[in-house]
Amino acid sequence: MNDAFRVVRNDEEQYSIMPSDMMNPPGWRDEGTIGSRAACLARIGEVWTDLRPKSLRESVAARAT
Amino acid sequence: MMSTASRYWRDLLEDFEEPTRLTPSRSGHRPAATVHAASIGWDPAQTAALTAVADRIGVRAQDVVVAAWGLLLATHAGTDDVVHGALIAGDTTEVLPVRARPVPSRLMSAHLRDTAEQYAENVRHAGLPAAQLAEASGVVDGAALFDTLVRCGALVPDPADLVQLQVDLGGAGAQLRLSAPADLLTEADVRLLLVHASQLLAAVAAAPVTARLRDVGPQSGFEQHRAVRQWNATGTAREPGRCIHDLFERQAALTPDAVAVLQGADRLTYAELDAAAGRLARRLAAAGVGPGDFVALHLSRTVQTVVALLGVLKAGAAYAPVDPAQPVERIRGLLRTLRVPVVLTDPGALPTVHAVTEAVPTVREVLWLGAPGLGPAESWGLAEAGSVVPREAREADVAYVIFTSGSTGTPKGVVLTHAPVVNLIDWVNETHAMGPADRVLFITSLGFDLSVYDVFGVLAAGGSIRVASDAEIRDPQRLLSILDSEPITFWDSAPAALQQLEPLFALRAANTSSRLRLVFLSGDWVPLTLPDAVRGAFSGAEVVALGGATEAAIWSNAFPVGTVDPAWTSVPYGRPIANAHYYVLDAALRPAPVGAPGDLFIGGDCLALGYHGDAELTAAKFVPDHLSGRPGARLYRTGDRARYWADGTIEFLGRQDQQVKVRGFRIELGEVEAALATLPGIATAVATVHGARAGAQLVAYVVPEPGVYPDPRDVREHVATLLPAYMVPAHVITLDELPVTTNGKLDRRALPEPGEDGPARPPYVAPSTAAEKAIAATWAELLELDQVGLDDNFFDLGGHSLLITQLIARLKATLEIDVPVRAVLDHQTAGAFAAVVEAALIAELTAPVPTPDATVAAV
């Protein structure tokens, strides 16, 4: 059960986890990490530092004074 | 001496605690002593395919049948750990338990081989009586280990007390027969289960060697399509690009002179509200606030609350409500984690807020709202800031963050953008024809997301908001009097808030002049008697039960409550609203069959962004949407258990985790336990809920370190410094050790009921005066106690807000006096309260007899 999940990411750079034996739904790609649920979530905790979707981050930055 | 057989069965079954039970899709009347049965015949080719797959895997076709029954039960009972009976004729004449723990990612072939091996071992260890097998397992004493059975061999008569699948593989084509006693399953359930058994066996027979368990399911393509698509055909076109406050601004342009918000004589028209919110937005912009910022609202309930909400959104920022009654450290934590630059408050609260924010470096300004002159001019939020133009919000911007209880001990902030909220507002306003004549009695805290619709939804429809004051909210009599005397058309609350008024309904004639037309109840179980009680008290009121989650924009499912079906165990969740998708999924993330418990997921245009600053929790709860086909979409895993009815209606079955609701408040028991554990001298602590639904109370159990004797009062006070009032346990019970099951797990059922060992009661002081005797008797009856002494405290005895209203209603009925709720809060012992009642009785005798109308006006 140590490789039960994969870390996945969508075009908005939102992260989540997928059971490792399921195909990615459209718009989701593997981030590269495979492991237990806890290990995958811990990886996400490290790399996903801004939870806003990419388009929102960019639109806020564009409007910043 | 334990025999080898006993040891074998103990190893297999010891940690199996919850017997696998199928539930009928329809509850209610259950005809006695009949058995429903149905049969299907397979053609020889199908049967040959099943045998061929068994050969390929290296098991017998009979083993495949046994394994399929376990898989089918797992899906239909909504569990991943099944025990059922099995008998393969020729192997044994005895029905033997088989344990199945299907893992969706496992290879089907491996699971089938495991099952065959286990069955063979079980046969080798046959011979123990059923009672001894049950005893070897973890199921509670006296409960049957299983009540479902699969039997391979020549067909035999249907049993009267078991759900049974029979498969006769003897002929050229297999015969399948399913039977169940009528008190276990309905006739339709039996047919569905048989069809699913047949479909699952066919799926196994047709599966490639590489198939995993999640690839072989019992449901047809049509059934899955119906659940995924047809029951979610909620698509409704929306005008894109709108923010929450845009809806208000459009209405303000249409009806500038209409009343938008009022409280007593304090009222603002749409134009006035728009102007005030605009000034606040410019003042916030001048303070550097804009898109991406969170502005905290630390406000009492006045018309200024609405100015603040609109002003923050007009500034392009998001708002974060802060309950002023919360512990200071909790408020500071919230301000820090959100990096709040500005706090909005009332002039009277400025010193308090400054004391809080001094320790929070991100807070640049504390602004106050209200009439000019009530506070320092430089921090007046409504001062004209000149030519500064706020940066505009977009629909994808964050609009608010609401903090809810978090299981790890810290609250979690749910972050919402404008778009899903606009979708919800459009849905309510279209579905319920909300318009300028509508007025909401706004009683909900800003920290509870119903408030979002109450304010922005009602304003978007051109209606008005009657802001209930903090004092009014605490007083059911005043709230009822407002409903009776003011043109309120809309009530929106958790069931408990309305239930508080219920005992008072009977004290007044049915109100025919009331304009209340629409009642929304959400956030908790709706008591089955409440809809009729409401309709009896307010003729013409329509009752709608709604559900969803803060994470899915307020509400995303609804059920208009017509006649309450006596067979219901609860009011159903109903169906998803416009552009929302609901899925009840099994452990393999496939739609659950009709009637089977599963996990509820929400998708569509209603989801939050996630939990502020918590990537792990967000990733765990918001998962890739593998069902809608929308690229990159997510599903929110609600943690609710639910099931489909045959018409697609969804029934809520409870929680799968430790989240509980007490009077509508969402509480993670883990957070309460974490707070209890911070008290020095406490070795371990458990929190749980006692009492059903509306009467639910939070109870804490603490195990102190040796030599420590915690006073329950100290424990509650300590928790109150860390958590909001609604999360402070009503009872604290000290235990020497926590009860555990034979497997060493906490045995929640063995925790003593509060009252058995509640807070120590003061020495009994007998009541002497007539009023004291009457009060002691009334309390004893309400609180279900043998006797009540003068020094007993109402709340220590288990009294709570619902009981206060009942107490008041009884005093009105028996002594014909009106006692305000405050009297109970201010005079908590029986003796002190009796003195208040006595004074009221004397006043009653000496005062002129009031007319019924005057009585209502006076409260």
pLDDT tens-place string over residues B505-538: 877 776 667 899 999 999 888 888 899 999 999 9
Shortest CA gap B112–chain A (Å): 18
Inter-chain touch A24–B214, beta carbons under 8 Å: no
- B781 and B652 fall within a common domain: no
Name the phi and psi angles at B614, rounded to 5. -130, 85
| A44 closest CB neighbour out of B104, B397, B616 | B616
Residue B719 above 80 pLDDT?
yes
Which structural domain range is residue B123 located in? 4-218
- What is the SS3 assignment for B733? strand
Closest chain B residue by Cα to residue A39: B616
In-domain check, residue B721: yes
Give me the residues paired with residue A28 across strands: A10
In this structure, are strands B294-298 and B318-321 parallel, antiparallel, or unpaired? parallel
Helices and strands per DSSP (H, E), number in chain A: 2, 3
Task: Identify the CATH number of the domain in which residue B637 sits.
Answer: 2.30.38.10
Using the beta-carbon criterion (under 8 Å), do B619 and A15 form an inter-chain contact? yes
Which of B623, B627, B628, B637 is the best mutation test for A, with the most CBs of A within 10 A? Answer: B623
Residue B259 has pLDDT above 60, yes or no: yes
The yes-or-no verdict on residue B804 having pLDDT over 60 is yes
CA–CA separation, B671 and B688 (whole Å): 11
Q: Among B185-194, B709-718, B794-803, where is mean pLDDT lowest? A: B794-803
The sign of the CA dihedral B212, B213, B214, B215 is positive
CATH code of the domain in which B805 resides:
1.10.1200.10
Greater confidence, B219 or B741?
B219
Check A11 against B612: CB less than 8 A apart: no
The predicted pLDDT at position B657 comes to: 73
B143 lies in the same domain as B67: yes
Res. B843 pLDDT band, cuts 50 70 90: confident
Q: CB within 8 A of B397, min separation 6: which ones?
A: A56, A59, A60, B243, B291, B292, B316, B318, B417, B418
B288/A65 CB distance under 8 A: yes
Mutation target vs B (from A46, A51, A57; most B CBs, 10 A cutoff) = A51
- Report the 10 Å Cβ neighbour count for B328: 12
Rounded to a whole number of angstroms, the distance from the CA of A13 to the nearest CA of chain B is: 9
Q: What is the pLDDT of residues B626-645, one digit of tens each?
A: 999 999 999 999 999 999 99
- Return the H-helix or E-strand segment holding B253: helix B244-254
Structure tokens at B688: 């749980």
Mean pLDDT value across chain B: 90
B56: CATH: 3.30.559.30
B37, B59: one domain? yes
Is the pLDDT at B858 greater than 60, yes or no? no
Please indicate whether, in this complex, the C-beta atoms of B629 and A26 are within 8 angstroms of each other: yes
**What mean pLDDT is predicted for residues B89-117?**
95
% of chain B residues with pLDDT over 90? 63
Of all helices (H) and strands (E), which one includes residue B348? Answer: none
Same domain, B49 and B154: yes
Q: Which of B132-141, B199-208, B228-237, B502-511 has the lowest mean pLDDT?
A: B502-511
Q: Which of A19, A26, A55 sits opposite B396 (nearest CB)?
A: A55
**Does one domain contain both B709 and B778?**
no
Instruction: Give the nearest chain A residue to B210 (CA atoms).
Output: A21
Domain boundary among B720, B750, B780: B750
- Tell me: pLDDT of B758 over 60: no
Which 19-58 residues of chain A touch chain B by CB within 8 A? 19-22, 24-28, 37, 40-42, 44-45, 48-49, 51-53, 55-56
Mean pLDDT of chain A: 94
Structural domains of chain A in order of their starting residue, each with its CATH number: 5-63 (3.90.820.10)
Judged against a pLDDT cut of 60, whether residue B208 lies above it is answered with yes
Nearest CA in chain A to B414: A51
Residues in chain B: 859
Task: Provide mean pLDDT across the span B783-808.
Answer: 82
Query: Residues 6 or more apart from A38 whose CB is under 8 A from it?
Result: none
Instruction: Say yes or no: B702 and B799 in one domain.
Output: no
Enumerate the residues of chain B whose CB falls inside 8 A of the CB of residue A10.
624, 631-632, 634
**CA distance linking residue B4 with residue B806, whole number of Å:** 61
CA B420 to chain centroid, in Å, comes to 20
**pLDDT band of B503, cuts 50, 70, 90:** confident
Cα separation values, B150 from B38, B70, B89, B178, Å: 15, 9, 11, 9
CA distances from B771 to B521, B776, B831, B848 (A): 38, 8, 9, 21
Burial of B828 (0-12, 13-18, 19+ CB in 10 A): middle
Model confidence band, residue B824 (pLDDT cutoffs 50, 70, 90) = confident
Q: Is residue B454 part of a domain?
A: no
Among A14, A20, A55, select the one facing B105 at the smallest CB separation: A20
Residue B514 contacts residue B486 (beta carbons within 8 Å): no
Q: Using DSSP bridges, classify how beta strands B318-321 and B610-611 pair: parallel, antiparallel or unpaired.
A: unpaired
The predicted structure's pLDDT at residue B633: 98
Inter-chain residue contact B615 with A48, CB threshold 8 Å:
yes
Residue at B355 is within a domain: no
| Residues B178 and B37 sit within 8 Å (Cβ to Cβ) | yes
Give how many domains chain B has, as a whole number: 4
Q: How far apart are CA B35 and CA B44, in angstroms?
A: 29
pLDDT above 50: residue B836 = yes
pLDDT of residue B848: 60
**Between chains, do B214 and A10 touch, taking CB under 8 Å as contact?**
no
C-beta atoms of B615 and A59 within 8 A: no
Residue B826 resides in a domain: yes
Residue B788 lies in a domain: yes
How far apart (Å, rounded) are the C-alpha atoms in residues B685 and B186? 44
Residue A2's pLDDT is what?
Answer: 54
| Distance of alpha carbon B726 from the chain centroid | 15
Q: Which residue has the tokens 């009884």?
A: B810
Q: Which residue, of B596, B622, B656, is where some domain finishes?
A: B656
Residue A35: strand pairing partners: A5
Whether B285 is in a domain gets the answer: no
B61 and B78 within one domain: yes
Instruction: Quote the CA–CA distance of B676 and B721 in Å, as a whole number.
Output: 11
Is position B272 within any domain? Answer: no
List residues in chain B touching A: CB distance below 8 A: 104-105, 212, 214, 288, 290-292, 316, 391-392, 394, 396-398, 415, 417, 589, 609-616, 618-620, 622-627, 629-634
Query: Are B620 and B652 members of one domain?
Result: yes
Is B619's CB within 8 Å of A26's CB?
no
Q: Which of B656, B680, B702 is the last residue of a domain?
A: B656
B794/chain A closest Cα distance in angstroms: 46
In b/e form, how buried is each residue of B16-52, taking b as 16+ CB within 10 angstroms? bbebbebbbbbeeeeeeeebbbbeeebeeebbbbbbe
Same domain, B799 and B835: yes
From B583, B563, B722, B481, select the one nearest B225 (Cα to Cα). B583
| Domain CATH code at residue B701 | 3.30.300.30
Contacts of B633 in chain A (CB under 8 A): 25, 27
What pLDDT, on a 0 to 100 scale, did the predictor assign at position B361? 95
Q: Which among B291, B626, B632 has CB closest to A10?
A: B632
B844 & B697 share domain: no
Who among B214, B618, B620 is closest to A51 (CB)?
Answer: B618
Q: Does A12 touch chain B (CB under 8 A)?
A: yes
| Chain segment B358-373, per-residue pLDDT in tens | 999 999 999 999 999 9
Q: Is residue B620 part of a domain?
A: yes
Mean pLDDT of B150-169: 95
For the cut 60, the answer to whether the pLDDT of residue B655 exceeds it is yes
Are B291 and A15 an interchain contact pair (Cβ–Cβ within 8 Å)?
Answer: no
**Predicted local confidence at residue B854, as pLDDT:** 39
Tokens standing for residue A65:
């004074």
Put simply, the answer to whether A18 touches B612 (Cβ < 8 Å) is no
Tell me, yes or no, whether B120 and B149 share the same domain.
yes
Regarding predicted confidence, which is higher, B677 or B574?
B574
B637 and B680 in a common domain: no
- How far does A28 lie from chain B, in Å, by closest CA? 6
Lowest model confidence (mean pLDDT) among A38-42, B298-302, B326-330, B542-546: B326-330
What is the three-class DSSP state of B746? Answer: strand
Q: What is the pLDDT of residues B372-396, one digit of tens each?
A: 999 999 999 999 988 899 999 999 9
